[in-house]
Amino acid sequence: MITTTDLTKVYRSRGREVTALDGVSLHVEPGEMYGVIGRSGAGKSTLIRCVNLLERPDSGTVTVDGQDLTALPGPRHRAGRSLRQARTGIGMIFQHFNLLSSRTVRGNVELPLEILGLTRRERARKALELLDLVGLADQARAYPAQLSGGQKQRVGIARALAGDPKVLLSDEATSALDPETTRSVLQLLRDLNRQLGLTVLLITHEMDVVKAVCDSAALMEKGRIVEAGVVSELLATPGSRLAHELFPVAGAVPGGDRTVVDITFHGDSAGQPVISHLARTHEVDVSILGAAMETVGGRQVGRMRIELPGHPDTNAAALAYLRERGLTVELPAQTAPATGPAPLDRSPAPTEQGPTDELAPEGTR
Amino acid sequence: MTWSQMEPLLTQGTIDTLYMVGWATFYAVLGGLPLGVLLVLTDKGGPLRNVVANRAIGVIVNVGRSLPFIILLVALIPFTRFVVGTAMGPTAAVVPLAIAAIPFFARLVETAIREVDHGLVEAAHAMGGGTWTVVGKVLLPQALPSLIAGLTTTVIALIGYSAMAGAVGGGGLGTLAYTYGYQRFEDEFMLVTVAVLLVIVTAVQLIGDGVVRLVTRRTRTG
């Protein structure tokens, strides 16, 4: 539904050059929710602006719904008629909502309908229909200043859906919202994705957003996509950085005669009492150093860092058992404090923090 | 000078002043609004970015703004005569007043429009809107309170300028204050004229503020 090939974009100002995009190729399947995650400055904002050509890439192509947008003629800095036409079929929502304070909620939703050239009556009908869809029909006459952040973003979503788009671009749409509101807005996006078959490309710096709603994800760093794929498959990939960042397991890896194992649960294995079974059948004392378990896309997934007494060689049978149960097993480097790459979130959720003490009692959070 | 002598003069003077300021304001909006919008659109980063056009408009506006009005008034006499047929009277005074007010208002329009959040412009573009959609449906409506405040400032500046127009026979309250109050040492007449001007300026400011409040009230309060 969305394909970018080899996008590059360099910003030049006062002799300095900043490479925002350095050969980005991305493919979003129809009906998919695709999350691009990265720190600020990674180029994700530029990437999403290139998809509807709010930014024109220096090179590379953008194809949305089979149409090569980069090939559409535009008189210099302005968008030509054909590009403007294509944009009416691509919805976009923003971090700071970008609603007109001079218009009512309904007036805001009607703006794209005015651009589409609908009559007054059609506009009113469609706007109320859209507001109903996002659960704000009763606020049609309110002004944006009278709404909460979550409500404003719902208006933004209603407005983005005005042109019956097949694609919705979300530019950090939940980053200005509190966690609870974030969840409800994400849930709305997920519902729209399911009900309308809407393809959603979202960019975020919050791993939780990807965890909560994304089918696929890409990790962006310094203008490049360093890893991309279907989330459930990434979790099953040993050494996946996204898997590490989605489920960062804390817990120092002590040296000495111990075996520290990072295991990733995905799919069916998550429902089984693997750890207690391991302890019983192999008669080993298992300490859980840290764990992060969650439901992703309706399935239980997560990662856990456990510790077994004895050298890894002596635990070969136990490790083989874990692999047999369909878990991904990794031995982190035995250098404390090895916790994988630093999480992207500056403040990881408490559930992702495991006990860090070597003698920590068993148990997960 | 008695009140019965003053009254017809004051009435005519007030009418002339309002006439001059009214028409000059009309032309200030007619010329200043598009110029101010173009100053923003042609600037770098704007959708119609054009360095030459932007500089040219900028120079015209700056020249118009830096000339002392009294100089402009005299310098424009041939032009005024060409346009109106005479350089005397309130109608003739409208010409220099309008020409002074257009760049004045244009700068205020530019400032007001620059204050509009760029995110809104981006949102309109993302919806498929073109430049004129952005101007007509985003920039002008969002800047409306600032535009009205700017217009109020322009009208009040014009009232001041119109008094100067009196010095070259423009008519209005300025002429009265100058010929009767200053040249004939009629201190009372001077005071009354100033009082009338004060009332007009205050009324304009109050009306302007009131309208600004009216258009912002619904958007700012919760």
What is the reported pLDDT for A251? 65
What lies within 8 Å, CB to CB, of B152 at 6+ separation is B204, B205, B207, B208, B209, B212
Whether chain B has a CB inside 8 Å of the CB on A77: the answer is yes
pLDDT at A192 over 80: yes
- On the 0-12 / 13-18 / 19+ scale of CB atoms within 10 A, A230 is middle
Closest C-alpha to B103, from B27, B47, B43, B52: B27
The C-alpha torsion from B177 through B179 and B180 to B181, rounded to 10°, is: 50
The average pLDDT across A91-117 equals 94
Which carries the bigger pLDDT value, residue A265 or residue B32?
Answer: B32
Contact check, Cβ <8 Å, B142/A101 = yes
The residue with tokens 């210099």 is A76
Which chain B residues have a beta carbon less than 8 Å from that of A148? none
Mean pLDDT (whole number) for A42-55: 91
pLDDT tens sequence across B42-55:
998 788 888 999 99
Give the number of other Cβ atoms within 10 Å of residue A89's Cβ: 16
Residue B120: list chain A partners with CB under 8 A: 98-100
The CA distance from A104 to the nearest CA of chain B, in Å, is 9
Q: Which residues of A touch B119 (CB under 8 A)?
A: 94, 96, 98
Q: How far is B119 from chain A (nearest CA, A)?
A: 6
* Chain A residues within 8 A of B138 when measuring between CB atoms: 100
- CB–CB of B119 and A98 under 8 A? yes
Q: Report the distance separating Cα A61 and Cα A9, nearest Å.
A: 12
The shortest CB-CB distance from B126 to any of A54, A102, A103 is to A54
Chain B CB contacts of A114 below 8 Å = 133, 137
CB–CB contact B128 A84 (8 Å): yes
A79 touches chain B (CB under 8 A): yes
Report yes or no: A289 at the B interface, CB cutoff 8 Å.
no
Give per-residue burial for A340-352: e unless 16+ CB within 10 Å, then b.
Answer: beebbeeebbeeb
A356 vs A337: CA distance, rounded Å: 9
Asked if B130 lies within 8 A of A88 by C-beta distance, the reply is no
The pLDDT value given to residue A296? 63
Contacts of B127 in chain A (CB under 8 A): 87-88, 92, 111-112, 115, 159, 162-163
**In chain A, domain spans:** 2-236, 247-330
Residue of A nearest to B145 (CA): A102
Q: A335 pLDDT band (50/70/90 cuts)?
A: very low
CATH architecture entry for A247-330: 2-Layer Sandwich (3.30)
Could you report the predicted ipTM of this complex, rounded to two decimals? 0.84
Instruction: Return d(Cα A32, Cα A230) in angstroms, integer.
Output: 10
Tokens at residue B185, please? 């040492």
Q: Which chain B residues are Cβ-neighbours of A139 within 8 angstroms?
A: none
Interior CA angle at A349 toward A347 and A355, to 5°? 100
Mark out chain B residues that contact chain A at CB-CB < 8 A: 47-49, 117, 119-120, 122-131, 133, 137-138, 141-142, 144, 215, 218-222
Instruction: Decide if B207 contacts B52 (C-beta within 8 A).
Output: no
Segment A289-315 shows an average pLDDT of 78
- The full length of chain B comes to 222
Angle subtended by helix axes A120-133 and A149-160, to nearest 10: 130
Facing A94 at nearest CB: one of B49, B123, B128 = B123
Q: What is the pLDDT of residue A350?
A: 42
* pLDDT tens digits, one per residue of A122-173: 999 999 999 999 999 999 999 999 999 999 999 999 999 999 999 999 999 9
Nearest CA in chain A to B215: A102
Asked if the Cβ–Cβ distance from B131 to A96 is below 8 Å, we say no
Quickly name the fold that domain B3-221 has.
Answer: MetI-like fold (1.10.3720)
A84–B130 C-beta distance less than 8 A: yes
**A118 at interface of B, judged by CB pairs closer than 8 A:** no
Kindly report, residue by residue over B175-221, the tens digit of the pLDDT: 888 888 778 888 888 888 889 999 999 999 999 999 999 888 666 54
Q: What is the mean pLDDT of residues A203-211?
A: 88
Question: In chain A, what percentage of residues exceed pLDDT 70?
Answer: 85
Predicted confidence band of residue B39 (pLDDT cuts 50, 70, 90): very high
Query: Shortest Cα distance from B36 to chain A (angstroms)?
Result: 20
pLDDT given for residue A355 in this prediction: 39
φ and ψ of A104, to 5 deg: -70, 175
**Which residue in chain B is spatially nearest to A103 when comparing CA positions?**
B219
CATH class, A2-236 region: alpha beta
Q: Categorize the per-residue pLDDT at A218 as very low, low, confident or very high, splitting at 50, 70 and 90.
A: very high
Please determine, for residue B66, whether its predicted confidence score (pLDDT) is greater than 50.
yes
Q: What is the pLDDT of residues A336-364, one digit of tens each?
A: 444 444 445 444 444 433 333 334 344 43
Residue contact A78–B117, C-beta within 8 A? no
Would you place residue A76 in the very low, low, confident or very high pLDDT band (cuts 50, 70, 90)?
low
**Residues A308, A292: Cα–Cα separation, whole Å:** 19
Which residue in the set B125, B215, B220 is minimally distant from A145, CB to CB? Answer: B220
Residues of A (20-49) whose Cβ lies below 8 Å from B: none
Query: Taking all residues of chain A, what is their mean pLDDT, rounded to a whole number?
Result: 83
Q: Tell me which of A299 and A98 has the higher pLDDT.
A: A98
Residue B54 to chain A, least CA–CA distance (Å): 16
User: In terms of Cα–Cα distance, which of A296, A309, A209 is closest to A259?
Assistant: A309
User: Are the C-beta atoms of residues B23 and B100 closer than 8 Å to each other?
Assistant: no
A116: nearest CA partner in chain B: B128
For A266-289, how does the pLDDT look when each residue is reduced to its tens digit (9 = 90+)? 766 666 778 888 888 888 888 888
Work out the pLDDT band at A260, boundaries 50, 70, 90: confident
pLDDT at A39: 87
